[in-house]
Amino acid sequence: MKIKKFEVGPLLVNCYIVYDENTKDGFVIDPGDEPDLILDFIKEEELIIQYIICTHGHFDHIGAVKEIKDETGAKIILHREDLEIYRNSPQVAMQFFGIEIEPQPEPDTLIEDGDTFMIVNRELKFIYTPGHSPGSVSIYIEGCLFTGDTLFAGSVGRTDLFGGDMQKLLISLKKIANLPSDTLIFPGHGPKTKLGIEIKSNPFYHEII
C-alpha cells in the first residue's frame, strides 16, 4: 500500500491518494482543491480510483470532489451527519472566506460508525469521530489512521464552526486512543505523527487521559 499526499487549496488541506502499486486500485481522501494536480498523478500512475472519501463536509476538504468523480467515476463516501454541511459548503465558502466552489455531487454512500470496506486488498474501517463537525470520521487501514480535522500533530480541529462540539471531540480522541500506539496519524492539515506521541504530548489528550 502506498500513500501520496498533496497539500491543496488556500487552507493547505492534505489530500491523500492511497493505492496498491500492483493492482493499481486506489481511493482519494479529501480532494479539497487543485483537481488537475490530483488527476495528473492518478493518470501518471494509471490508478483505478474506486472511492472519494470525505472525512467531513467542510468546503476546504471537498472542493474538487466533482472533478475527481467526473474523471474517474469513483463513488463518494460521507457520513450522513455531515450531509447538510456538505450540501451548504459553496455558500459557506463564499460567505465566510470569499472562496468560490461548485456544488458537489450527492454522496453515493452515507456511512455509519464501524462500516468496513475491502479496498486495495485491505480492510478499511470508518470510525465515527464527531466534534470538529457532526459527521467527522477517521479512516483506519493497515496501521494508518486518516483523521481529517479531528486530530493534528500537537493539536485538534477547531470546534467553533457550525456543528462543532469540543466535548464530543474529546470523546472522539479517547475513542481513537484505543488503537495501537504505533498507529501512524495522517491528519487533514500539517505533518503526520504517531498516536502514541499525541497521547503523551498533545495538550488535548491531557484533558482526557
61-73 pLDDT tens trace: 999 999 999 999 9
| Range in 5-9, 41-45, 101-105, 123-127 the model is least confident about | 101-105
Q: Per DSSP, what are the bridge partners of residue 108?
A: none
Alpha helices in 46-194 (DSSP H): 59-62, 65-72, 83-97, 166-176
pLDDT at residue 187 is higher than 70: yes
Domain with residue 181: its CATH number is 3.60.15.10
Check residue 77 and give its pLDDT.
Answer: 98
Residues 6+ apart with CB under 8 A from 11: 32, 60, 189
Looking at residue 121, what is its pLDDT? Answer: 87
Give me the mean pLDDT over the 146-153 stretch: 98
Residue 209 reports pLDDT greater than 80: no
Three-state DSSP state, 127: strand
Can you tell me the distance from the alpha carbon of 42 to that of 101, in angstroms, rounded to the nearest whole number?
22
- Torsion of the alpha carbons at 185, 145, 197 and 156, rounded to the nearest 10: 70
Per-residue pLDDT, averaged over 162-174, amounts to: 95
pLDDT tens digit sequence for 124-138:
999 999 999 999 999
Q: What is the dihedral of CA 85, 101, 108, 188, to 10 degrees?
A: -70
- Domain total for the chain? 1
d(CA 159, CA 56): 13
Q: What share of the chain in percent tops pLDDT 90? A: 89
Separation of alpha carbons 164 and 166, rounded Å: 7
- Residue numbers of the domain that contains 13: 2-207
pLDDT value, residue 92: 87
Helix residue ranges per DSSP H, the chain? 35-44, 59-62, 65-72, 83-97, 166-176, 195-201
28 compared with 97, residue with greater pLDDT: 28
